């Protein structure tokens, strides 16, 4: 049931505050007498002596994995690689010791992800114990094929997603990665208890901040959709933890509105893609105060100098940001580390409203299926 929403995708975008709440209740609910404020129900031997993490995924799950890598490396200081499952199968990394392999798939049925995990498990069989696969799945369907393939699963708590474009399952995957990275950091003592508490308290504020964003953005994104319904190319830029959100914003727009869009790390624009820019190519820039804010603003300035219309996803509404952006999609002030859960929301809405405006079948885009069970 669409519960009054025009499409399932819009309903599912609006369900995200609830998904974050459910994840907080489930994961940030420690068993007594453990050193970690997080409880994922995973055994200690999955974490012991961990030296490396390999994450295998496709599509939107691959974007969530990139944010997972950022969190795990920055918080828990474990070297982490993210691979497209379809590529990894035919060119895997060398077998390393004490490596955790994580498959991320919301459906639990993506053929490439299952095949890459199976390959990794098989080629490690019979090796010394430290080389054997430690396998973990992150899925919205623990009863799926993935659930049978791997011994341990973090269940994401999105509930059933009907729209083909992943929205709330992405947010649920992000929550699983916050929990995993913080759990690893707590056990390895790579961040102080104060910092952990601060991050967790910040996460607890996120549901109401998504609600506020949804409320303020619905009209703004609809207006922008009106103006951009016939645009042919879009560029999305971000840096650091928001680079994967630029990729995700571009993917959402491509798959449901059929408009060409690319996501780029803002600093890479000058190495080629800036040649694409002119007054017909709008640039959506994610600019969150923190380690890369000034850099993103100066990259946005470079785009503006090529006459691109600039749309800013930012909590800042004065100073340079107010001057440089033609349009603002404002979000609440939020710690950079937590910002992706908020910055993705206006991009989902923008893609949704552009596709709806174009009269397209938002929930069932052409050529796509909810689970991709062919390789």
Q: Give the footprint of ligand F6R on this chain (CB under 6 A).
A: 58-61, 105-107, 110, 113, 164-166, 251, 255, 371-372
Q: How many helices (H) and strands (E) does the chain have?
A: 13, 10
Those residues with Cβ within 8 angstroms of residue 8's Cβ, 6 or more apart along the chain or in another chain? 2, 161, 162, 163, 363
State in angstroms the smallest separation of the CB of 248 from ligand F6R. 8
State in angstroms the smallest separation of the CB of 315 from ligand F6R. 26
Query: Which two structure tokens, joined as six digits, stand for 88?
Result: 């990894």
3-state secondary structure of 262: strand
State in angstroms the smallest separation of the CB of 371 from ligand F6R. 6
What is the rounded CA–CA span in Å between residue 117 and residue 111?
A: 10
| DSSP assignments along 71-90, one per residue | HIIIII--EEEEEEHHHHTT
State in angstroms the smallest separation of the CB of 284 from ligand F6R. 17
Q: Which is nearer to ligand F6R, 251 or 266 (CB)?
A: 251
State in angstroms the smallest separation of the CB of 306 from ligand F6R. 30
What pairs with residue 254 in β-bridges?
none
Residue 139 main-chain phi, psi, to 5 deg = -150, 155
- The helix (run of H) or strand (run of E) holding residue 246 is helix 243-257
Among 121, 198, 295, 370, the one annotated catalytic: 370
Q: Is 230 exposed, middle or buried (0-12, 13-18, 19+ CB in 10 A)?
A: exposed
Q: Which is nearer to ligand F6R, 12 or 37 (CB)?
A: 12
Q: Which is nearer to ligand F6R, 105 or 308 (CB)?
A: 105
What is the rounded CA–CA span in Å between residue 108 and residue 106?
A: 6
Those residues with Cβ within 8 angstroms of residue 204's Cβ, 6 or more apart along the chain or in another chain? 24, 28
Q: Which is nearer to ligand F6R, 166 or 362 (CB)?
A: 166
Closest chain position to ligand F6R (CB): 59
What pairs with residue 54 in β-bridges?
81, 101
* Catalytic status, residue 11: no
Q: Which is nearer to ligand F6R, 81 or 371 (CB)?
A: 371
Neighbours of 115 (CB within 10 A): 16
Query: Which two structure tokens, joined as six digits, stand for 151?
Result: 């011994």
State in angstroms the smallest separation of the CB of 343 from ligand F6R. 17
Q: Which residues participate in catalysis according to the annotation?
A: 370
């Amino acid at each position: 049931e669409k519960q009054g929403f025009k499409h399932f995708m819009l309903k599912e975008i609006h369900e995200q505050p609830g998904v974050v709440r459910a994840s907080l209740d489930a994961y940030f609910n420690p068993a007594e007498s453990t050193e970690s404020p997080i409880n994922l129900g995973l055994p200690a031997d999955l974490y012991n002596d961990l030296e490396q993490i390999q994450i295998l995924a496709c599509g939107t799950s691959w974007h969530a994995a990139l944010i997972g890598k950022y969190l795990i490396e920055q918080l828990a200081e474990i070297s982490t690689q993210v691979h497209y499952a379809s590529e990894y199968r035919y060119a895997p990394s060398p077998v390393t010791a004490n490596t955790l392999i994580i498959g991320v798939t919301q459906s639990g049925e993506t053929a490439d992800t299952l095949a890459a995990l199976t390959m990794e498990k098989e080629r490690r069989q019979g090796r010394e114990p430290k080389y054997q696969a430690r396998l973990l799945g992150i899925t919205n369907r623990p009863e799926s094929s993935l659930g049978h393939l791997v011994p341990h699963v973090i269940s994401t708590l999105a509930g059933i997603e009907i729209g083909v474009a992943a929205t709330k399952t992405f947010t649920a995957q992000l929550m699983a990665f916050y929990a995993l990275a913080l759990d690893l950091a707590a056990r390895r003592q790579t961040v102080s208890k104060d910092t952990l508490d601060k991050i967790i308290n910040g996460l607890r504020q996120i549901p109401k901040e998504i609600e506020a964003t949804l409320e303020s953005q619905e009209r703004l994104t609809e207006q922008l959709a009106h103006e951009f319904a016939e645009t042919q190319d879009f560029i999305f830029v971000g840096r650091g933890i928001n680079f994967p959100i630029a990729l995700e914003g571009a993917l959402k727009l491509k798959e449901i509105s059929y408009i060409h869009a690319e996501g780029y790390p803002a600093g890479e624009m000058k190495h080629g893609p800036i040649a694409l820019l002119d007054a017909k190519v709008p640039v959506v820039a994610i600019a969150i105060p923190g380690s890369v804010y000034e850099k993103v603003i100066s990259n946005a300035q470079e785009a503006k100098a090529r006459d691109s219309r600039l749309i800013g996803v930012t909590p800042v509404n004065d100073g340079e940001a107010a001057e440089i952006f033609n349009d603002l999609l404002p979000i609440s002030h939020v710690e950079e580390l937590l910002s992706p859960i908020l910055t993705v929301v206006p991009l989902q809405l923008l893609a949704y409203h552009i596709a709806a405006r174009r009269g397209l079948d938002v929930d069932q885009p052409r050529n796509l299926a909810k689970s991709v069970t062919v390789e």
